[in-house]
Structure 1
C-alpha cells in the first residue's frame, strides 16, 4: 500500500495557508497583453484601470461658478419683476372690481368718479350741486372768452390783452378748480377726512374772491365783466354788450353759489367734529406714506438694474 497522500499536492505544500490572501503571488506566469507576471503584487488596484485622472483648472472652475451665480441672480430678478407685475395687475383688478374703470374725463379717462357709488346718499345732492357749479364755471370761462373776442373785434381798448388772458383762464382755471377745490370736497364727503375739507376751504375761498373780481370786469384782466360791459355799451356794440351781460351774470352766479355752499360745507364740517389738528395729522401721515412708497419704488427700480 502506498503511503502517499492522495489529497496532497506539491503546489499546496509549498505555500503557507495562513499567509495574507492579498499578498498571494502567482506561481505560473500568465500570458497575453495586460496579464500579470510571476511575483506580481495583486494589491495594486490601479493595474486594471486607467491610472491617469482628469483635473479642471481652478480658474475655469471659478468662472463657471460665477456664471452660474450670475444666471441665478438674473432669474431671481426676472421672477421678482414678474411678481411685481402680477401684484400691480391684481391691485388694478381689485380697484376696477370695487370702483369701476376710469371714467373721467370722458374723452380721456384718467380717474374714476361716481357720485352714486362713492358718496353717501345723504350728501349726494350737495356734491352733485357742487359738480354742476364746476360745470357752470367751464361754461362761464368759454362765454367770457367769446365776449373778450368780440370786444377785440369791435375795437374796445385793451381788447387784445383781455382776449389773451381769458384764453389762458380757459385752461388754467379749468384744471386748477377741479384739482384744488372740487376734487378735495368730493374726497372730503367720500372719506370724511379733515384735510380734504381744509383744501376745499382754502382754494374755494380763493375761487369765490376770483369770481367776484371777474364779475367786476376790470380792463386788461381777461374779464368781460361789469366795467368792460359798460364800455362796450357806450361804444354802441349791442351784440358784444349782450355777451358781456351774460358773462357778468355768470360770474356773479359763481360768486353767490360758491359762497352759499362754502357755508353749507363748513356747517357739515363742524357737525362732524373735524378739527385743524386732525387735518395736520392727516397731511403728515399722507406725506410719510408717500415718502415710503417713493422709497420702495426707488429701491425696486435700483435693485432691478443691479
Structure 2
C-alpha cells in the first residue's frame, strides 16, 4: 500500500523555489520576450532572502556524561583486547625459551658429533686419558678417559654425574673416617685395630670402588652394555651393604659409625666423639643415597631393554674377540687334537 502523499515532501513546494516562480511582478529569462515593450527588459527585483532558522542549542553541543573522560581527537581508541596482549606476550616468551633450548641442544649434539668423528678419524690420539686429573710434573699419568658430556647420552648424564659425585663423597668420607679413627686412637690407645682397619679401607676401597662399580656404570650408559649393567648391580649391591656397616660402626672394623661414636661419647671423650658423629652422619647419608640411586638405575635399566641373555652374548663376544684368549683356545685345541691322534 502506497504511503499518503505529503506536500512537504514535494521539492517544488520549497519556499526558496516558490519565490522564484514567474509572476507579474518578477519575470525570469524563461518568459522574457525581447519584442515586448520595445526591447526593454523587465525590471530586476532582488529576491528577498529569508534567514535560516537557527538550530536548537541541544543539537550543537554534544552530549557529555558527567565524570566521563573527554576523548582527544588524536588519542588512539582502545577497542578492548580482553587479555589477548598478555597471553600473546606469554606465548611469545614460551616460544623463545623453547627455541633457545632447542638451539642449545642442537649445538651440543653438533659438538658431540664432531668430537666423535674426530676421534674415529684420528684413533686414540685425540682421546687421551684425562682421569685422574694429575699435574704435568707428576710422574704418574692418567689411567682413564672420562667426559660425561661427550660419551654419555644427554638423558643419562645427570644420573652418571650423581654417581660420580657420590663416589667422590664416599672417598672423602673414608678419609674423614681415617682421621676420626686416628682421633679415637689418640684418646684411647686400645683402639689400634680400629685405626689400622680405617687405613686399609681408605687405601683399598677408594680405587677399587672407582674401578669395580663406577667404570662399569660409565661403560654401561656409554655403550648400552647389558654386561656392564650386571657387573655394576652385583658390585654396587655389595658396596651398599658395606655402606650400611660403615654407618652402623661395629667396633674393631675400622668404621667410626654410630656405635663407636656414641661409645666414645659415653666414656667422656667429647671432642673425638663429636668428630666421629659427624663422620657417622656422612656415612649414613652415603648409604641412604646409594640405596636410592641403585633403585633409580635399576628402573632405567629395565626401560633400556637389556637382559641377562644379552649380557651373556656380550660377554662371549668380548671374550672371543680378545687375541690372547683366541691364541690360548687355539693352542688348547691343537694340543687336544695331537693327543687324540697319538697311539
Q: Same fold (TM over 0.5)?
A: yes
| In structure 1, C-alpha distance between the alignment counterparts of 2:214 and 2:121, rounded to whole Å | 25
Root-mean-square deviation over aligned CA pairs: 2.2
If asked which structure has higher relative contact order (CA below 8 Å, sep 6+), I would say 1
Normalized against structure 2, the TM-score is what? 0.57
Q: Pick the aligned partner of 1:125 from 136, 155, 158.
A: 158
What does residue 274 of structure 1 align with? 306
Tell me whether 1:193 sits opposite 2:220 in the alignment.
no
What does residue 105 of structure 1 align with? 132
| In structure 2, C-alpha distance between the alignment counterparts of 1:141 and 1:119, rounded to whole Å | 28
**Conservation of the 8 A alpha-carbon contact between 1:120 and 1:189:** yes
What does residue 207 of structure 1 align with? 239
Q: Pick the aligned partner of 1:262 from 276, 291, 294.
A: 294
| In structure 2, C-alpha distance between the alignment counterparts of 1:251 and 1:156, rounded to whole Å | 24
Q: What is the Cα deviation at residue 230 of structure 1?
A: 1.0
| In structure 2, C-alpha distance between the alignment counterparts of 1:120 and 1:156, rounded to whole Å | 52
The within-5 A match list for 1:107-186 is 107=134, 108-155=141-188, 157=190, 159-186=191-218
The within-5 A match list for 1:35-54 is none
Unaligned runs of 5+ in 1: 1-89, 300-306
Unaligned runs of 5+ in 2: 1-118, 135-140, 332-343
| In structure 2, C-alpha distance between the alignment counterparts of 1:96 and 1:200, rounded to whole Å | 29
Structure with the greater alpha carbon radius of gyration:
2
Q: What is the Cα deviation at residue 180 of structure 1?
A: 1.1
Q: Pick the aligned partner of 1:94 from 110, 123, 147.
A: 123
| In structure 1, C-alpha distance between the alignment counterparts of 2:199 and 2:291, rounded to whole Å | 25
1:148-177 CA-to-partner distances (Å, cap 9, x unmatched) read 0011100164x1001111101111101211
What does residue 269 of structure 2 align with? 237
Say how many residue pairs are matched.
Answer: 206
Q: What is the Cα deviation at residue 96 of structure 1?
A: 2.8
